[in-house]
Structure 1
């Protein structure tokens, strides 16, 4: 009779966490940062169909890194949660905090009870009437929630990009300054010169507090071309190996 295979709960949780972290680190980073009239989201994303930043409700947006099918399921669930709550109660009862708590429960349950954790990291953000009322929540694969102030980075090279963002970000930046900074830090590389990311390879959106009800809007490549500094030198050639997804 063979002995049953035993893994301690601590080791099991550590293995799941390592697995999730590796999956998330393979994804292209997403930068979220506050500016004077709202909250901006930016990521390198050549796909026009698969979004990593999306509207959830009137003044709430969702950004994610990791496995696309997993975070897309969470996005859809978040839209349903917001619609049902807004319809059953009042539109003002739908908040980023409530949505973040709902996501935290889902992520935490999957992490502790399923054989494989979700390989995702999320940001749920809500733009307020003033900058002081803005809310940015970061959710990890295990359901832990962090209330972020000003800016946050998820995905590959998050530490390096986050350190640079902390150094250069200032409260009250205008949209142009915020987008330039976001794109600049997204181009950072562990070694060598930063990459120049062309506007048509970017996904940029904002929650704009000056808009009447629906604050979310995407910034098209033509607008990004105007916002970003003109590059004198040709951008470096794209790497020959296939780009990582997420």
Structure 2
């Protein structure tokens, strides 16, 4: 009778962590920046159908990098958990901290389980308060660890390079236009093989941008920024940024912001969040 192959628990956890990190690093980075009136999310995402940033509840947003089907299942489960808690108790009982803890339990359980592969995802959960000091931004990793971030945070792709750029230039309480310009510049910041700067301009059409705006009078504070609004906020960043939008005549009035809609979500396939 052959002996089963033995792998130490330490080596098993290391292999699972390396597997998850490699999958996450293949995705493009997502930047979250706290500005004077809320929280800004920016990602380089040419797809118009697959969103990395979405609304969870009135004042809560969700952003993720990694394998799309996995973090989409987590997002849907979070929306349903928030709706159920708000309906059963009160809308004020739905908090970013509670959702972050629920996600941490789910990701930690999956990572520790030997029966399935770890999720190749990292997640932001953000909630805005009535004042800037009350804003909360949590970063969750593939193994369920939770970090309370302040000012800005980056995940996925070249996160270290982007974070270093932001650390040198971030200013607390900046305007939306300044925060957006900084986030886009950070995403385009890179270095060549010699270590010299090789920055690039990301076309507006390749950006996915959303905000939690505390100045909004509606209960739902989540807003996606359309390309027309991005042109207005970013200003002159090079000729690539001034191509007219498809179906919009030059000189036309910019389109209005719209809320995200999660009403037609398919049923979740991920394990339920406890």
Is TM (by shorter chain) over 0.5? yes
Deviating beyond 2 angstroms after TM superposition, the runs of 4 or more aligned structure 1 residues are 231-235
What is the RMSD computed on CA atoms of the aligned residues? Answer: 1.1
1:206 is matched with which residue? Answer: 211
1:216 is matched with which residue? Answer: 222
2:186 matched to 1:180? no
Q: Spell out the pairing of 1:99-178 with structure 2 (5 A cutoff).
A: 99-113=99-113, 114-178=115-179
1:226 is matched with which residue? Answer: 232
Q: Spell out the pairing of 1:235-246 with structure 2 (5 A cutoff).
A: none
SS in 1 for 2:211: strand
Mapped to 2, the partners of 1:184 and 1:231 lie a distance apart of 10
- Rate the CA distance shift 1:42–1:5 in 2: closer, same or farther, 3 A: same
Mapped to 1, the partners of 2:202 and 2:103 lie a distance apart of 32
Mapped to 2, the partners of 1:177 and 1:183 lie a distance apart of 10
1:58 is matched with which residue? Answer: 58
SS in 2 for 1:146: strand
2:35 is matched with which residue? Answer: 35
Mapped to 1, the partners of 2:69 and 2:47 lie a distance apart of 15
Contact kept, 8 Å, 2:191 with 2:198, in 1: the verdict is no
Mapped to 1, the partners of 2:82 and 2:104 lie a distance apart of 15
Q: CA deviation at 1:233?
A: 5.4
SS in 1 for 2:42: strand
Mapped to 1, the partners of 2:209 and 2:155 lie a distance apart of 15
Q: CA deviation at 1:234?
A: 5.3
Name the count of aligned residue pairs.
235
> Structure 2-normalised TM-score?
0.84
1:242 is matched with which residue? Answer: none
> Structure 1-normalised TM-score?
0.93
Cα shift readout 1:143-198 (whole Å, capped 9, x = no counterpart)? 00000011100001101111111111111100000000010001012325211111
Mapped to 2, the partners of 1:159 and 1:109 lie a distance apart of 27
SS in 2 for 1:56: strand
Q: Unmatched 5+ residue regions in structure 1?
A: 236-246
SS in 2 for 1:41: strand
Q: Unmatched 5+ residue regions in structure 2?
A: 242-274
